[in-house]
Amino acid sequence: MKIYIETLGCAKNAADSEMAAGILEDAGHTIVKNPTDAEGILVNTCGFINDAKKESINRIFDMTEYKNHGGLLMVSGCLSQRYGEELYKEMPEVDIFLGVNDYSKLPEIISSHIAGQRQKHFSSYEKGFLETGLRKTEVSAYSSTIKIAEGCNNVCTYCVIPSIRGSYRSKRMEDVLKEAEMLAENGCRELILIAQDVTAYGKDIYGEFRLAALLKELCRIENLRWIRLMYCYEDRITDELIQVMAEEEKICHYIDIPIQHASDKILKAMNRRSTKASIKNTISRLRNAMPDIHIRTTLITGFPGETKEDFLELAEFVEEMKFERLGVFSYSKEEGTPAAKMKGQVREDTKQKRKEALMTLQLDLSLQTNQSKIGTVLEVLVEEQEEDGSYIGRTRYDAPEIDNSVLFTAQKGCNPGDLVYVKIIDAFDYDLVGEMEETYESAK
């Protein structure tokens, strides 16, 4: 069967889709890039916050238009796992619903399907990391994620992830390394480590945090050039981890630390282990060890009980810390979470105004960061060529799709995946402009 996979949500979902594609191809199915060519469609949904839920539902309805005669419409992912029973009743157009733990059963589910008979499969999470050894990535994908764990043990009061994906399960180190070597052999130059909490890696199966040890082993893989850390919890950023990041050349001086807030009162209400003082301390340790490090964080405005004073404290903290990369979400009231029942729910317009205020503040801070790079020469990973012949790429300090880009001209042709050196000549709020130097390393 020809199957098209539509992926919504985060990088963890994208990794699930690649696993599903690998499982399906191994069973004899063909993955196609266009829904018009498909006999079956799988929509991998996101159910984290309200906006993501709406987008997923709309996309499911969009995909009903592509159902060929007798074709299958399948829905998987977090929204399906969380609201499967309700969706099954409300969406008769969908033939098969499955959760986040059922991808390995896809070939069997499809082969046993009888036209006109709908199915639903919502398994509870596995005790360990489900390792299939099957994953379909783009040919010569120069940038790839690798999921090193599933689930989460952090019971933040606003978050539904533990109830959807279960408790934390690390992937065995030998399996991570095997997958990373496969990706490197297929052309991967940038490896991005992902999990709900990357810094908790290993504790469940080895009895101790093993992220630093894993990074050392990954750095030995010859063809990898950049290794990037996403989704790190501040309280688990150890001195050992910082030392490895500082010493290993392949590890990008970039780290994603979603701190969510700076008011101790709000952090406690969120059930976060961090305090404003501990966050400051960790940022200081990172910057002392790696003066060029770029720290990405995310914040939540309008959490229940957030007063004007709490918000001003957060804004002052942002201005003081000068995060190189920052995103802001307004609080999403999610049913089934403790925060949804808390007193002091903040008006929607207030949440949005506070979000916009922080993003306006960050515009100035981001511009300052970018202007400081004018005159420097930076290593850039080429991503695409524009119609006018110029190129777009990223530095070591930028994760794909969410961070800054570098727009540059070149005297010789470049290909996606090439590593080039670019002299920065201008800067904007979220982009750099430059000219390529002569020295470069081809991905070929």
Other Cβ atoms closer than 10 A to 2: 15
Task: Quote the pLDDT of residue 9.
Answer: 83
264 found inside a domain? yes
Average predicted confidence (pLDDT) for the chain: 92
pLDDT in tens, 234-256: 999 999 999 999 999 999 999 99
Per DSSP (E only), the strands in 107-235 are: 119-121, 143-147, 149-150, 169-170, 190-194, 226-229
364 found inside a domain? yes
In a shared domain, residues 226 and 359 = yes
Residue 300: which CATH number? Answer: 3.80.30.20
In a shared domain, residues 287 and 432 = no
Token pair of 285 as six digits: 């340790």
138 found inside a domain? no
Please say which residue of 371, 394, 419 terminates a domain: 371
134 found inside a domain? no
In a shared domain, residues 189 and 265 = yes
In a shared domain, residues 96 and 173 = no
pTM of the model: 0.89
Please say which residue of 371, 399, 422 terminates a domain: 371
Domain count, the chain: 3
CA–CA gap between residue 362 and residue 404 (Å, rounded): 13
In a shared domain, residues 153 and 255 = yes
pLDDT in tens, 106-155: 999 998 887 778 988 887 766 667 666 677 777 568 999 999 999 999 99
135 found inside a domain? no
In a shared domain, residues 223 and 321 = yes
Residue positions in the annotated binding site for [4Fe-4S] cluster?
A: 10, 46, 78, 152, 156, 159
pLDDT in tens, 27-50: 999 999 988 889 999 999 987 777
In a shared domain, residues 365 and 383 = no
In a shared domain, residues 367 and 394 = no
pLDDT in tens, 203-216: 999 999 999 999 99
In a shared domain, residues 86 and 27 = yes
24 found inside a domain? yes
Per DSSP (E only), the strands in 40-189 are: 40-45, 72-77, 96-98, 119-121, 143-147, 149-150, 169-170
In a shared domain, residues 230 and 352 = yes
In a shared domain, residues 160 and 234 = yes
Give the confidence band of 273 by pLDDT, cuts at 50, 70, 90.
very high
In this prediction, residues 59-67 reach a mean pLDDT of 84
Residue positions in the annotated binding site?
A: 10, 46, 78, 152, 156, 159
129 found inside a domain? no
133 found inside a domain? no
In this prediction, residues 148-168 reach a mean pLDDT of 92
- Helix 50-63 to helix 78-90 angle (10° resolution) is 60
In a shared domain, residues 81 and 181 = no
Which range of residues forms the domain containing residue 390?
Answer: 377-441
